[in-house]
Chains A and B, each alone.
Chain A
Amino acid sequence: MNMPIGMMMLLVVGVLVYFGIAHRILDRMRLTDKQALLFIAAIIVGSFIDIPLMSAPVALSINVGGALLPALLAIWLIFKADETAEKVRGIFAAILVAAAVTLGSRYLPYEPENMFLDPKLIYGISAGLIAYLAGRSRRSAFIGGVLGIVLSDIIHMVTIMRLGIPGTTDIGGAGAFDVVIIAGIVAVMVAELVGETREKLQGGPILGSHRPEGLFEFSKELSHTNQKRKGSLKPTDSEINNKDDQENRGDNNE
């Protein structure tokens, strides 16, 4: 390919930033840093593998990197959820997102000249908001984003089958750059943004002696609880996750 150096560098920067963000998101999905990195590698390799599922009346296939792996991760997250209510909320978020995508795709503007927001982002953002409202957690945002789009693809397939429109359905066919993964990532980012903003507006977590046990502070001077633990000044990931879970639980109890 005859490409100027600026263009090549842009490609490299774009890909690094994209996968860098994806890694930070997967890190929050019950994966360790290494597992998240391996998962991204698997998504990239899997992007090149399409599994045909049926050929008539419409061709249906699923891409390993773009849909199968993220969907399996989402399903695993549902099964690993502690409470039944949490599981139901995850599934409910996915169904609501699928409905939003299907109805949105039908009634939102669809010509290049009059779209107001890129569809990839519309559905990611709606997945994030829906999942946050339904489950108030990042994990259900991810589940909603990923499974919602997969489900909307199935609805699309049923639609074209019923109407006899010739077409194909390749779920997650764009691999690592498919709307399945983008919606998952954007959904978690939106949930994170909404959650953190809400907490900030409420005055943030309590500092000092009334601070709940286990809430983590990064700088040792600020926190009452951290001063008690003189041995380990570095946070462990589990503590960060604890903070995560506590925030979620705290939200749910309200």
Chain B
Amino acid sequence: MNRLWAILALLLFLCSNAYAQEPAAKGYVSFVDENGSIVYITGWNTQVGDQCLTENNKRFEVVSVEGEIAYVKLIGEVDLSMYKQPINNVALNILRPSIAWAQGNKGKVAMYYTHSDESYVPTDGKESILGSGGIYKVGESFSSALKANGMEVINSDAKHDPHDNMAYERSRRTVVDLLKQQPDAIFDLHRDATPPEVYGTTINGQDVTKLQLVVGKYGATGKQIEDYALQIKAASDKQHPGLIKGIFFAKGGDYNQDLFPKSMLLEVGSHTNNRQAAERGIALFADVIPTVLGKAGAGPNTGAAPGNTAGAAGFGTADAGPSGASKSMGWIVGIVIVGIVGFLFLSTGSVKEAKAKLKQFTTTEFANFFGSASKDKKQPEKTNNEKDKE
């Protein structure tokens, strides 16, 4: 046992040693299509299978990666008019009285910062300031713009440094904490790492940075987040064309978007952009949020598409096909069934044995919950006692 404590102490010492990895910019990745032209640029490396939706709604998938060039193929053009806000669905009809009440409140938005160190070089001096990155200032700008639109804001000041692979697991705790306060939407604010011209633009005569939405496609709930991102882009394209640089569909993680269906990861500009430009960019984005959350009253988008009865996040429509939520549900149920069948195959020798095991599960396991109500009176209660003796 003593040796064990010694190993533990040594490990604690070794692992807590100076943090070696600097979140240095490695350059950026250019997405090159079949014609050899660059269609999309983002910081950091990508993998085969990742997808992106460009500013003009063309969707590409990465087919191969060579160094800092990702070769992509066009999947198709997305018709964002199918992703307008749902105005009328079954649930809304049932809940009509509470909707009337809900429209009185203008909505609550929560925001947090998984990578607390992310900063903007031209204004902050460094690209990474542990514990108090420039990204917090961008969040303040977002927060005050939302408040100006009459929304309630919860701006978390939780820190999740160092900037490592566990940062999302630490920020997961912040997300759950924020969800306890029942927000209508939740945003994780980041900045990208690209040359300045990728994000820099001029909207209404102002120098601003564009935003990139990031959808985690890893979890089964990825599909509904995808729908949500497309809804955001549809609304933003209408109100502030050119503000959303694109959507990145990353297959490598879920970025805590599995916890809440209205979660979005935003990349506001790049480390090479001016922070004030990023602050102005996200302030423009704040104008879009009431529309996205259906709190805009008679907004420009809400009156559209009378035939759209369920909407993208509901059961889907004839136009758009099955919705993201129902696709996600299909995935979850499918995975469960495959898992059960696979387990039965592995743990039993034959179909007969598997059937018997399944039967045993459905009879005795549930008999246990309902006590003597079980049809099988031979020994329904004995199982618990016997097991305790173990």
Contacts and interface: CB of A to CB of B under 8 A. Distances in A.
Nearest to A80: B390
A213 interface: no
A101 interface: yes
A167 B108 CA distance: 26
| Chain A contact patch, size range | 35 or more
Contacts of B18: 163
Q: Tell me the dominant secondary structure on chain A's binding face.
A: helix
Interface string A164-180: 01111010111101110
B163 A6 contact: no
A66 B172 CA distance: 12
B184 A106 contact: no
B202 interface: no
6 contacts: A7-B313, A99-B11, A114-B46, A162-B17, A163-B19, A167-B116
Contact of A99 (B15, B355, B389): B15
B216 interface: yes
Contacts of A33: 365, 368-369, 384
B333 A13 contact: yes
A3 interface: yes
Interface stretch (B119-127, B140-148, B233-241, B250-258): B250-258
Contacts of B158: 168
Contact of B218 (A118, A165, A237): A118
Given A33-B368, A175-B176, A207 B8 contact: no
Contact of B310 (A6, A122, A166): A6
A91 B219 CA distance: 31
Contacts of B43: 111, 113
A42 interface: no
A138 B201 CA distance: 55
B315 interface: yes
A155 B325 contact: no
Interface of B: 4, 7-8, 11-12, 15-21, 23, 29, 42-47, 50, 86, 89-92, 99, 102, 116, 130-132, 158-170, 172-177, 180, 182, 184, 190, 214, 216, 218-221, 224, 248, 250, 252-255, 258-259, 261, 265, 293-295, 310-311, 313-316, 323, 325-326, 328-329, 332-333, 336, 343, 346-350, 352-353, 355-357, 359-360, 363-365, 368-369, 376, 378-379, 382-384, 386-390
Nearest to A116: B252
Interface stretch (A69-77, A129-137, A193-201): A193-201
Contacts of B116: 167
Given A34-B368, A192-B343, A219-B352, 12 more contacts: A5-B315, A6-B314, A14-B258, A113-B46, A114-B252, A116-B252, A155-B11, A168-B159, A174-B173, A219-B355, A237-B383, A238-B387
Contacts of A154: 12
A95 B8 contact: yes
A224 interface: no
B69 to A, nearest CB: 14
Nearest to B248: A113
Contacts of B311: 4
A235 B360 contact: yes
A91 to B, nearest CB: 6
Contacts of B336: 17
A186 to B, nearest CB: 12
A127 to B, nearest CB: 13
Contacts of B346: 193, 196-197, 200
Contacts of A168: 158-159
Contact of B347 (A13, A120, A196): A196
A110 B169 contact: no
A3 B368 contact: no
Contacts of B219: 118
Interface in A93-128: 95, 98-99, 101-120, 122-123
B379 to A, nearest CB: 7
B95 to A, nearest CB: 9
A106 B224 CA distance: 31
A233 to B, nearest CB: 8
Contacts of B388: 32
B93 to A, nearest CB: 10
A160 B248 CA distance: 31
A47 B179 CA distance: 12
